[in-house]
Amino acid sequence: MKMTRQPLVVGNWKMHGSIAGNAELLHGLRELLPTSGAASAVCPPFVYLPAVSAALAGSPIELGAQDVCEQGEAGAYTGEVSASMLREVGCRYVIVGHSERRVIYGETDALVARKFAAAVAAGLVPILCVGESLQERDSGATEAVVVRQLEAVISAVGVGAVGRGVLAYEPVWAIGTGRTASPEQAQDVHACLRGRIASIDATIAGSVRVLYGGSVKAGNAKEIFAMPDVDGGLIGGASLKAAEFAAIVAAATATGK
């Protein structure tokens, strides 16, 4: 079943930014991003969320966070930020399971699934990142890895809750490396993820957005976003420059999806 899915382009600022630098970047984005077409969002570090939320007021650009605590209730969790706090400061989205969280901070599939559940319970839209390492790709394990990562969440929260989120396929070997998956490689994995969901619920599979992430730039976005199962992108480095990010959003809009 073919359904229309509005493309979405999300900027993951990672641990970048400053009060002055963010103001300049956001000013540029407000100037350059159109009010119609692909949806867009930025995910700054936690400390900047309220100021970025205020700076984006009245613009079509939405706000997201880069991580969330898996605990649903407030409590003694030093250093953590809850999903309801993210909602309170204006977030719509939250990234969960980014490979930098999985690899550097040891987040497991089970923890990522709990974070996804906490986000949905608070009314946030979680962006679930999945992706294989270079070694896993070279050994032919790509589909097994991403399906395992997806199924950990489906079995924890059910496919209906997965349908309230967004998926992001981010091959680890393409993040921040300048290497991108070819459009065909991305399409194959996106179709695999969508197919796994379709085997449980075809309607949800038709409506859930699957973003691609990994060294997307203005120069390569168009051909990747043109693939039938690619519904936009999760953008790291290129989201820190207003003109570059705006050009990527324009590429998503130009697909006419």
Residues 6+ apart with CB under 8 A from 55: 22, 23, 26, 27, 30
Query: Least distance from C-beta 179 to ligand PEP, angstroms?
Result: 9
For residues 161 and 166, give the distance between their C-alpha atoms in angstroms, rounded to a whole number: 10
Other CB atoms closer than 10 Å to residue 25's CB: what's the count? 24
Query: Least distance from C-beta 234 to ligand PEP, angstroms?
Result: 5
Tell me the residue ranges of DSSP E strands in 99-231.
125-130, 166-169, 210-213
Task: Pick from 66, 185, 187, 215 the residue near ligand PEP by CB under 6 A.
Answer: 215
- Which residue lies nearer to ligand PEP by CB, 113 or 211? 211
Task: Pick from 40, 214, 224, 230 the residue near ligand PEP by CB under 6 A.
Answer: 214
Return the structure tokens found at 44.
Answer: 């700054």
Q: Binding mask 52-91 vs ligand PEP (x if CB under 6 A, - otherwise)?
A: ----------------------------------------
Query: Least distance from C-beta 186 to ligand PEP, angstroms?
Result: 12
Catalytic annotation present for 190: no
Catalytic annotation present for 98: yes
For residues 174 and 158, give the distance between their C-alpha atoms in angstroms, rounded to a whole number: 29
Helix, strand, coil percentages (3-state) for the chain, rounded to 5, are 50, 15, 35
Among 100, 107, 136, 170, the one annotated catalytic: 170
Query: Least distance from C-beta 73 to ligand PEP, angstroms?
Result: 29
Task: Classify strands 93-96 and 61-65 as parallel, antiparallel or unpaired.
Answer: parallel
By CB under 6 A, what part of segment 233-252 binds ligand PEP?
234-238
Residues that bind ligand PEP (CB under 6 A): 12, 170, 175-176, 213-216, 234-238
List active site positions: 98, 170
